[in-house]
Amino acid sequence: MREPVREPEPPTREPERADPGPVVPVPAVQPVRPSTPAGATATQVIALANQKGGVAKTTTTLNLGVAFSEMGHRVLLVDLDPQGNLTMSQGLNPDVIERSMFDVLVHKIPISEVIEHREVDLAVASIDLAGAELALSALIGRERSLEKALAEVRSTYDFVLIDTPPSLGLLTINAFVAATGVIVPVQCEYLSLRGLVQLENTLAMVRENLNPDVGVEGIVPTMFDGRTLHSREAIEILEESFGDLVYRTRIRKTVRYAEAPVKGCSVLKYDPTGAAAEAYRELAREIVAAKEARDGAQARKHA
């Protein structure tokens, strides 16, 4: 049984700021790290999730996927967000796409029919996806629609990265059921940390009822600005609360992440030698190293 995690202290406010009133500490939660069952497929299906918007979730999905591809891995990105930002980031218009993940989930067409070959393979979203939760709600086994759809192509890829909506609704539940693990991008601001508790509560219910092996694989600090006390304190809170679940890589604030989607590409293609691109290459290496360490531990355990 794990030792309880010490409840973190709220960050010290910088003296020049106005007092915003009492701050409630982030409740201590220790997410369950996923394990690969003996005999399971080597494909990593990773849901990138955070019910708070604006935390660089889509940016992380795209650039991490392209970084994996640069390392020689076969990668599929799945745009499960009705806003279609991941699809737009690869130069496609969600408003004019005829068949998308909506048709895969609701009408059961093969997922291979909505995959576009861009920097990496991308299962696209369209405006219709906004009605998917309502359409799925009437279906039996609705939480497993994505899991069943991925079965067709799962063995083709080493990594499947799922960009989820900024909510914990039925689309995100589908991602959790299909996933082998969850990566949580977290903006380096104190109030954005509290959403981790609700996300882990949702994951606990998914483990109990639908996918016993899913858990938080890692937490990515995003929009980090080392010049501010607040960003540094947010990192301290994350590390005190979640320990080695927090990746060492820090995704720093830069305009490059906003400029790249305008060109319909990842930051690794837009500015391949820049610090922004290197940050995601570093994150990809860290994730692959962690996966290899877990796989090695599992192999020794079952030897």
Global confidence as pTM: 0.85
Report yes or no on 5 lying in a domain: no
Q: Find the angle CA(150)-CA(154)-CA(158) to the nearest 5 degrees.
A: 135
Report yes or no on 229 lying in a domain: yes
Could you tell me which residue, 192 or 108, shows the higher pLDDT? Answer: 108
Report yes or no on 3 lying in a domain: no
- Residue 225 burial (C-beta neighbours within 10 Å; 0-12, 13-18, 19+): middle
The model's confidence at residue 209, banded by pLDDT at 50, 70 and 90, is: very high
| Contact call for residues 42 and 296 (beta carbons, < 8 A) | no
> Does position 256 have pLDDT exceeding 60, yes or no?
yes
CA–CA gap between residue 144 and residue 290 (Å, rounded): 27
**3 state DSSP class of 12:** coil
Averaged pLDDT of the chain: 87
Report yes or no on 265 lying in a domain: yes
- Residue 288 burial (C-beta neighbours within 10 Å; 0-12, 13-18, 19+): middle
Domain holding 63: CATH number? 3.40.50.300
Could you tell me which residue, 98 or 38, shows the higher pLDDT? Answer: 98
| Contact call for residues 198 and 206 (beta carbons, < 8 A) | no
Structural tokens at position 274:
């820049």
Report yes or no on 36 lying in a domain: no
Report yes or no on 218 lying in a domain: yes
What does the pLDDT read at residue 197? 83
Structural tokens at position 276:
């922004």
> Does position 2 have pLDDT exceeding 90, yes or no?
no
Cα separation values, 218 from 204, 235, 247, Å = 16, 14, 6
Report yes or no on 28 lying in a domain: no
Q: For residue 229, give every residue at least 6 positions away whose Cβ sits within 8 Å of its Cβ, in sequence order, or none.
A: 11, 12, 14
| Contact call for residues 119 and 267 (beta carbons, < 8 A) | no
> Does position 196 have pLDDT exceeding 80, yes or no?
yes
Report yes or no on 200 lying in a domain: yes
Phi, psi values for residue 76, rounded to 5°: -120, 130
What does the pLDDT read at residue 225? 85
Q: 188-197, 218-227, 289-298: lowest mean pLDDT where? A: 188-197
What pLDDT, in 10s, does the model give residues 50-104? 988 889 999 999 999 999 999 999 999 999 999 999 999 999 999 999 999 999 9
DSSP conformation letters of 158-183: SEEEEEPPSS-SHHHHHHHHH-SEEE
What pLDDT, in 10s, does the model give residues 265-279? 999 999 999 999 999
- Domain encompassing residue 243: 44-301
> Does position 32 have pLDDT exceeding 80, yes or no?
no
Q: Where are the beta strands (DSSP E) in 136-277?
A: 159-163, 181-187, 216-222
CA–CA gap between residue 300 and residue 71 (Å, rounded): 26
The model's confidence at residue 162, banded by pLDDT at 50, 70 and 90, is: very high
> Does position 6 have pLDDT exceeding 80, yes or no?
no
Number of domains in the chain: 1
